[in-house]
Structure 1
Amino acid sequence: MTQTPPTVTTVCIAGCGPAGAMLGLLLARAGIDVVVLEKHADFLRDFRGDTVHASTLQVLAELDLLDGFEELPQQPTSTITLMTDSGMVPLGDFTRLPGRFQRLSMVPQWEFLDFLTAEAERAPLVRPLPAGGGGGVGRGERHSGRSPLPADGRRRHAGGDRATGPAHRRR
């Protein structure tokens, strides 16, 4: 089923990368009417990075998301080394980082984004806007919604209160 993204919301986020997905999750948890637009129907493609740093692990713990995150396929590491002709050269040692987490995790970013958007869909008083299509948003591009809308169907004026994301910064 293809659904046109709503034309009215309090917050519209352009782009469902890690920052857009996390912002959508936080706003949805706060009960704010939010839509996250993403031009792709899914996250199954190559990304710039699959590294979740210690500071991000701390944020996930503070948001009570760590248990769910730990279920994702990942490779935790506390050191990074480089193999050279002379042998292994240490590049990073995370065991001395302050705080609870002295590691980082290599996690496929599509898994991380699916996790964040699924968590956003669990927020109170929201329902997901199915991905897979969308009306012309921006310069005639087609986008698909990835994040929640109010369950009661109430809509506010399309002007919204805030705009964020790459499309907003280009203006």
Structure 2
Amino acid sequence: MKKINFSFSVTRWIGVVIKEIHELRRDKVSISMVLLTPLFQLIILGYAINMDPHNLPTALLNYDTERMSQIFVTEAQNTGYFSMIPVDSEEAAQKAFVRGDVTFIVTIPEGFTRKLLRGEKPQLLIQGMPSIRSPRGMRSAPLCRWRSRCFSTICRATCVWCKKRMISSYHSSHV
């Protein structure tokens, strides 16, 4: 019995490729199918898959009732990425998170506004978990954009005008 050799041969492969090219040149319908089908799939699937999430349900635990935390929450809602749902306690937020009612839990700590006015960089606790239908990167990208937008325009207050405006609005609401 003769032993069959299953090793790969580049010359045979090139021969098959050349043969297939000759076959495709003779049949115009086949060449159009080979070229146009992937193009149509690319266009249709490119429009069908939306990688930009909107109105993600987000539980909000706001322990700071001052003006800046309210502005921060308003900015988050204005992005269109988040639908803030105020909750009363951490337990309620965790239950909603486990049930799948919310995608993120945002906790604004007590003293958030005070730290901003002192020039510190207060921290927020943002909890989230990816799911199979939406990978973590897609869901956390709006958080990064929101955080950078809010901290650059409102919270960091690097320009003097912005800092004066923040302090005057804070004092006028507490007088």
TM-score when normalising by structure 1: 0.23
TM-score when normalising by structure 2: 0.23
State which structure, 1 or 2, has the greater radius of gyration over its C-alpha atoms. Answer: 2
Query: Where is the strand percentage greater, Structure 1 or Structure 2?
Result: 1
Query: Where is the helix percentage greater, Structure 1 or Structure 2?
Result: 2
